[in-house]
Structure 1
Amino acid sequence: MGGYDNNYVGGAYDRKDNNFALIVVLFILLIIVGTAFMKDSY
């Protein structure tokens, strides 16, 4: 199990995965803020 944890913590693949997740979260936040702003405008 220890080896698996080590693999999970470090590694280019995990970093790439994290980047992708961050982009997705930012995109979702943008959509939520955008819709809220549109509702406020009306």
Structure 2
Amino acid sequence: MQGLPRYLSSAPVLATIWISLQAAGLIVFNYYFPDLLFHPLP
């Protein structure tokens, strides 16, 4: 049970970093390919 508090305290930090990286990746992708994220339906 010693590692459980460490895991619970680091999981929100890791989740925040992961979500921030995904958001930055989407921003960069949308900058270079602005029309690929929002395709109009045929």
TM bin, normalised by shorter chain, reads 0.5 to 0.7
Alignment partners' CA distance in 2, 1:41 and 1:11:
43
CA RMSD of aligned residues (A): 1.3
| Aligned positions, number | 33
Query: TM-score of the superposition, structure 1-length normalised?
Result: 0.64
3-state SS of 1:32 partner = helix
Amino acid at match of 2:16: V
Whose helix fraction is larger, Structure 1's or Structure 2's? 1
Query: TM-score of the superposition, structure 2-length normalised?
Result: 0.64
Indicate the percent of aligned positions where both proteins have the same amino acid: 12
